[in-house]
């Protein structure tokens, strides 16, 4: 099942996507329930009934969880080729620990930087000159847990989405903690919607990213250094995971910093990320003062 959060007639709704018909059927939810996006459906059995489908062209998609309740968990350097390209870039404040990490590198992004499919990522030239893209599979947690085993980990995943872990490389390198470089306003495009976990085969899911039509990242989730069950087990060992938590699982090789010279994003660029079984997340980049967000 594909589930979108969207606006229509000034109201936030959550609905079931029918890609073939290009429609979305809103679930019968109160405005208060719909305010949390797809989180309104997590743990609900049976699901609320759906209302008459609306043409997708007539709604404005929002991020599936427009404002997560707490920071997004993220994994750094989680594909082999990317770990090497980043460690040799000169901007990796974790490089001393080796190119390929022995344990997952876990950092976070602030919930306020989440934006939707087609919303604009702001490049503030007075703050950063090295904005980069990172195509990633996002996991949405559905069931609370602490000390979750690898074997039971996927029972705690409700579904998946696409995340662009937009990063200011210069800020990431300047501060040993990555939070500032990763959490600039608008730096977390998420969407276009979420899919339930049965829609994705983690052993074989392609992940691609184009910048202005040029294919830059082309990988498969089978190439993850730390797979999704390992990530869930690592985080939850002593940190309770909660429904609605989002985990960005890391980006493959082909980010801008990996090119010589680096190919940073500039105003007018468009990043398009496709993950098989989910869809396409596309966002334009523009100067400060333009576009969406807070």
Write out the residues near Mg ion by the rule CB under 5 A: 134, 165, 251
Q: Among residues 62 and 134, whose Cβ is nearest to Mg ion?
A: 134
Q: Among residues 183 and 196, whose Cβ is nearest to Mg ion?
A: 183
What is the nearest approach in angstroms of Mg ion to the Cβ of residue 78?
8
Rounded to whole angstroms, how far apart are CA atoms 211 and 255? Answer: 10
Q: Closest-CB residue for Mg ion?
A: 165
What is the nearest approach in angstroms of Mg ion to the Cβ of residue 201?
22
Q: Among residues 59 and 114, whose Cβ is nearest to Mg ion?
A: 114
**What is the 3-class SS of 203-244, one letter each residue?**
CCCEEEEEECCEEEEEEEHHHECCCHHHHHHHHHCCCCECCC
Q: Among residues 36 and 136, whose Cβ is nearest to Mg ion?
A: 136
Q: Among residues 35 and 106, whose Cβ is nearest to Mg ion?
A: 106
Cβ neighbours for 214, distance < 8 A, ≥ 6 positions apart: none
Asked if 69 contacts 140 with a C-beta cutoff of 8 angstroms, the reply is no
Q: Among residues 14 and 113, whose Cβ is nearest to Mg ion?
A: 113
What is the nearest approach in angstroms of Mg ion to the Cβ of residue 255?
9
Dmax (CA) for the chain in angstroms is 56
Rounded to whole angstroms, how far apart are CA atoms 79 and 123? Answer: 26
Q: Which residue has the tokens 């022995």?
A: 102
**Separation in Å, CA 123 to CA 15, 167, 253, 276, 288:** 32, 11, 22, 29, 6
What is the nearest approach in angstroms of Mg ion to the Cβ of residue 109?
9
Radius of gyration in angstroms for the set of CA atoms belonging to the chain, rounded to a whole number? 18
Q: Which residues pair with 61 in a beta bridge?
A: 6
What is the nearest approach in angstroms of Mg ion to the Cβ of residue 266?
20
What is the nearest approach in angstroms of Mg ion to the Cβ of residue 136?
6
For 253-277, b/e burial (b = at least 16 CB within 10 A) is bbbbbbeeeebbbeeebebbbbbee
Q: Among residues 108 and 118, whose Cβ is nearest to Mg ion?
A: 108
Nearest Cα to Cα of residue 77 among 95, 65, 96: 95
Nearest Cα to Cα of residue 133 among 146, 123, 144: 123
What is the nearest approach in angstroms of Mg ion to the Cβ of residue 20?
32
């Amino acid at each position: 099942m594909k589930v979108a959060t969207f606006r229509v007639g000034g109201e936030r709704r959550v609905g079931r996507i029918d890609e073939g018909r290009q429609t979305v059927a809103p679930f019968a939810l109160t405005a208060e329930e719909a305010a949390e996006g797809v989180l309104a459906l997590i743990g609900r059995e049976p699901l609320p009934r759906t209302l008459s489908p609306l043409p997708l062209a007539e709604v404005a998609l929002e991020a599936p969880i427009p404002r997560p309740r707490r920071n997004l968990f993220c994994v750094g350097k989680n594909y082999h080729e990317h770990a090497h390209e980043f460690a040799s870039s000169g901007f990796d404040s974790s490089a001393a620990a080796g190119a390929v990490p022995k344990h997952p590198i876990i950092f976070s992004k602030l919930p306020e930087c989440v934006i939707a499919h087609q919303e604009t990522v702001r490049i503030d030239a007075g703050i950063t000159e090295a904005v980069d893209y990172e195509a990633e599979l996002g996991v949405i947690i559905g069931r609370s847990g602490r000390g979750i085993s690898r074997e039971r980990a996927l029972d705690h995943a409700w579904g998946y989405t696409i995340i662009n872990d937009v990063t200011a490389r210069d800020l990431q390198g300047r501060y040993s903690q990555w939070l500032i470089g990763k959490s600039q306003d608008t730096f977390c495009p998420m969407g276009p919607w979420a899919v339930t976990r049965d829609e994705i085969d983690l052993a074989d899911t392609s992940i691609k990213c184009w910048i202005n039509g040029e294919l830059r990242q082309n990988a498969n989730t089978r190439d993850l250094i730390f797979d999704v069950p390992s990530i869930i087990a690592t985080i939850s060992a002593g940190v309770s995971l909660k429904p609605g938590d989002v985990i960005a699982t890391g980006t493959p090789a082909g980010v801008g910093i990996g090119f010589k010279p680096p190919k940073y994003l500039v105003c007018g660029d468009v990043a398009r990320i496709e993950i098989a079984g989910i869809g396409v997340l596309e966002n334009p980049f523009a100067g400060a003062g333009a576009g969406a967000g807070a």
